[in-house]
Amino acid sequence: MPEQLQLERHNLAHSSVEANIETDAFEQSHAGRIDESVRNASDAESHQNNPDEIPRQPIRAAVAKAAQLARGAEAHARERQHAKGKNTARERLDLLFDTGTFQEVGRFAGGDINQGVAGCAVITGFGEVYGRNVGVYAQDFSVKGGTLGKAEGEKICHLMDMAMSLKVPVVALIDSGGARIQEGVSALSQYGRIFKKTCEASGLIPQLSLILGPCAGGAVYCPALTDVIIMTKEHSNMFVTGPDVVKAATGEVISMDELGGGFVHNAVSGVAHYLGEDEADAIDYARTILAYLPSSCDAQPPAFAYAATRGEREMASRLADIVPENDRQPYDMLEVIRCIADYGEFVQVQELYAASAVVGFACIGGHPVGIVANQPNVLAGILDVNSSEKVARFVRLCDAFNLPVITLVDTPGYKPGSDQEHAGIIRRGAKVIYAYANAQVPLITVVLRKAFGGAYIVMGSKAIGADVNLAWPSSQIAVLGAQGAVNIIHRKDLQKAKERGQDVEALRSRLIAEYESTTVNANLSLEIGQIDAMIDPGQTREAIEDSLRLLASKKRVARGIKHHGNQPM
């Protein structure tokens, strides 16, 4: 995250409940602080004893009772949550928002003050993250296990309607036992309403979900519909059917963590996008992601003050030394990205999943961008079913919220094999094509070393819609790698040489060298206009900055009258 955004973290032990209740009391009674209500209860009598004293406005007894209920509810929440090693819902809000900025909506909705019920099992409201407004709903597990009923559903839907009207992001803090069984179908219907609101908000405002406790059954589809899902190593669980149901239905014995823990969904299923060490780390990641995104699709991402230092210029010049000349030798693409990004800072998304592709956020010249890259350190940077979906989803996110996409290409192609074909590489690989072909944000692509076959086309090629395409002098662009192409094109020549007793390997090496010099290099792509310029590796950052300035005024264009495309799912 940019240095200027490295603000102090909130004190975990601090709770905002009293400040929140004071705000509610002020709105109800216009009398300042609720804590003073008890002292002011006998104002009239005090005034009689001292006629010269100006009386303060009395606080209604109901307000004082509400304040006391709220304090008791938070004390109860701390007792229950801290025993499990978890924060209360309000402590989580303290971590999420800038200090003192949270304004609660509907504090006592769903409660019964006269009967001693302080509210329902969800907290809703708005606060600031790095000075920008963000909506939140936080489930409170200390109230009826955080279950969702009619009151909770109505509060969440109202919050989302407000967020869409105000065009601000929504963060969901999930910690719930699911639908409230006692309310039956009424509770299930609330999930349907939330699903619809989440779909309405998709692409309009950023939506982040933090799984900080259980999330089971139909409840899992609330976060599944959002842009980013964040989990923690402990306490986070997501599954449609729990371990008991799995055992009853299949006989399989499995723990909650093995079935749907944070690591499983980050590294295996790809459902989640970040695995936090703890709640504080997870919430800090959410704040970081929000810092790169605009408040809505109508806004531009925030810009930050930036001045390149001598050290960063030297880092940019190191690029040529990072990427080996031998196209079969691996290297870490993250080192390349750090040489390009402001301050070397890169925020990865889905770091543990489909690691042959790298996606995430960075700033270049003070402007947030999305970066998509192949990772030669993992399977040579090959595209498979999982990495294809990872790339496609991220490009769509960037396009929805006006972030330019920088694509760094070094891939031998799509992964071959029956397992990939049977897993749907055709259908799932096509998602990358759909994402790039429909993107209308600035698209800048740099071919670092090799780009072969269909993978070259789908990874932000000029033909698929990229605005600026650059290549390093050592880059190789072709339908197939030299060795594979020679084995096919000169199959008969190699066979004849073998029959004559000639040195087949020497002939193959000569043919490979000829193919590389005439076909595999980027000259043909330059000549037909598929590559705009050949750049020195040390100029990569500068060339990307220049391209971003050139494309800064790029506008979206309405495309026909169709309702929507039918992308491969």
Residue 371 CB contacts under 8 Å (≥ 6 apart), including other chains = 337, 340, 341, 346, 358, 359, 360, 361, 362, 405, 406, 407, 408
| Dihedral (CA of 344, 347, 349, 355) sign | positive
Strands 132-139 and 207-211: unpaired
Nearest to 416 by CA among 454, 390, 451, 456: 454
- Residue 275 in contact with residue 263, Cβ under 8 Å? yes
- Residue 441 in contact with residue 301, Cβ under 8 Å? no
Tell me, yes or no, if 465 is annotated catalytic: no
Tell me, yes or no, if 454 is annotated catalytic: yes
**Using CA atoms, how far apart are residues 248 and 228, in angstroms rounded to an integer?**
32
Give the amino acid at 33: R
Tell me, yes or no, if 217 is annotated catalytic: yes
Catalytic residue among 89, 216, 455, 522: 455
The 3-state DSSP composition of the chain as helix, strand, coil percent (nearest 5) reads 45, 15, 35
Catalytic residue among 32, 145, 203, 218: 218
**Using CA atoms, how far apart are residues 383 and 455, in angstroms rounded to an integer?**
7
**Full DSSP string of 278-339:** SHHHHHHHHHHHHHHS-SSTTSPPP-------HHHHHHHHTHHHHS-SSTTS---HHHHHHH
Give the amino acid at 198: T
Catalytic residue among 32, 242, 366, 454: 454
Q: Which two tokens stand for residue 8?
A: 């102090």
Catalytic residue among 106, 217, 365, 460: 217
Other C-beta atoms lying within 10 Å of the C-beta of residue 472: 21
Q: Give the residue carrying structure tokens 């390009």.
A: 340
**Using CA atoms, how far apart are residues 194 and 161, in angstroms rounded to an integer?**
10
- Known catalytic residues are 217-218, 454-455
